[in-house]
Amino acid sequence: MQGVATRADTTASRQSATAVWPWAFIAGGVLFLLGGMLHPGEDSSLPEEEATAEFIGAGTWVPAHALIVAGTIGFMIGLFALARSSMPLSPAARRAAWVAALAAVLLVVEGAFHLAAFVDEDAARSGAATPVLSTHMVMSLIIYPLFTLALAALALLSGRTLTHPVVGVLGAIGAIAFGVAPALVGPAGIDSLAVLFGVGGILMSLWFIVVGVSALISASSRRRTAALPS
């Protein structure tokens, strides 16, 4: 009896996860996209210290990054739920979902430092140490690639299970672009490649939204089919 109850609990847990993840994907994608749209730009015509200070002190810094963090939390919830769900993912795709979910936890932590970087505005302007901003930048060099490579693997390995493979490829390209941007713009100093944050973030967010909407449409179609008289 205990084994039957355990199996029933597991089935119920998977069904609950299956119901949650599409909505979390959609919410995460929309919030992340809105945050990216609000994100301030850096004025390259100013001296470096002043440009950084103006950048992190911009009026849209806090709302933009609050939305991005909220979107990342949506990704985290959705990925954990997807990994636990009854979706017929291949073993490799499910492992990628678990890795992406765990990396999303780290991304939320990094996002909190990113959001709080505005406290270093005065220090940046005077050329002093910027511990919060610097912590975010170091973390992003490790966490962004970890999250986005796992996400790209999920997008590619899931085949047609989550969405059309072409959408999966575009999502993977966006994820990888977003993941490599910190290293290319930071240590490599290629400022022109800051565009990868925007383009990559848009493609990545749209992948989450499309996958979530596709899952809801498929679930609705299955319910309608089941309701038809046999």
Instruction: Identify whether 7 is part of a domain.
Output: no
Separation of alpha carbons 115 and 158, rounded Å? 32
CB-based burial label for 159 (10 Å; 0-12, 13-18, 19+): middle
Tally of CB atoms within 10 A around 141: 12
User: Is residue 1 predicted with pLDDT exceeding 90?
Assistant: no
Residue in the structure block whose two tokens are 């954990």: 80
Region 116-130: what's the mean pLDDT?
96
Q: Which helix (H) or strand (E) holds 93?
A: helix 91-116
Instruction: Identify whether 95 is part of a domain.
Output: yes
45/58: higher pLDDT: 58
Instruction: Give the whole-number percent of the chain exceeding pLDDT 70.
Output: 90
Domain that holds residue 59: 14-214
Angle at 15 between CA 82 and CA 159, to 5 degrees: 40
User: Is residue 2 predicted with pLDDT exceeding 90?
Assistant: no
Domain count within the chain: 1
Mean of the per-residue pLDDT values of the chain: 92
The 10s digit of each residue's pLDDT in 139-190 is 999 999 999 999 999 999 999 999 999 999 999 999 999 999 999 999 998 9
Instruction: Identify whether 229 is part of a domain.
Output: no
- Least confident range of 3-7, 15-19, 205-209: 3-7
Neighbouring residues of 117: CB distance < 8 A, sequence distance ≥ 6: 56, 61, 130, 132, 133, 136
Q: What angle do the packed helices 91-116 and 61-84 form, to 10 degrees?
A: 160
Beta strands in the chain (DSSP E): none
The band of 226, judged by pLDDT with boundaries at 50, 70 and 90, is low
Region 119-137: what's the mean pLDDT?
96
Instruction: Identify whether 224 is part of a domain.
Output: no
Note the pLDDT of residue 16: 60
With CA atoms as reference, report the closest residue to 56 among 112, 121, 4: 121
Instruction: Identify whether 44 is part of a domain.
Output: yes
The 10s digit of each residue's pLDDT in 71-85 is 999 999 999 999 999
Separation of alpha carbons 116 and 93, rounded Å? 34
Instruction: Identify whether 220 is part of a domain.
Output: no
Angle at 101 between CA 86 and CA 139, to 5 degrees: 175
Separation of alpha carbons 210 and 158, rounded Å? 14
Instruction: Identify whether 3 is part of a domain.
Output: no
With CA atoms as reference, report the closest residue to 111 among 147, 82, 83: 147
Q: What is the DSSP string of 155-176?
A: HHHTTTTTS-HHHHHHHHHHHH
With CA atoms as reference, report the closest residue to 89 among 157, 25, 24: 157
Instruction: Identify whether 5 is part of a domain.
Output: no
User: Is residue 8 predicted with pLDDT exceeding 50?
Assistant: no
Region 92-107: what's the mean pLDDT?
98
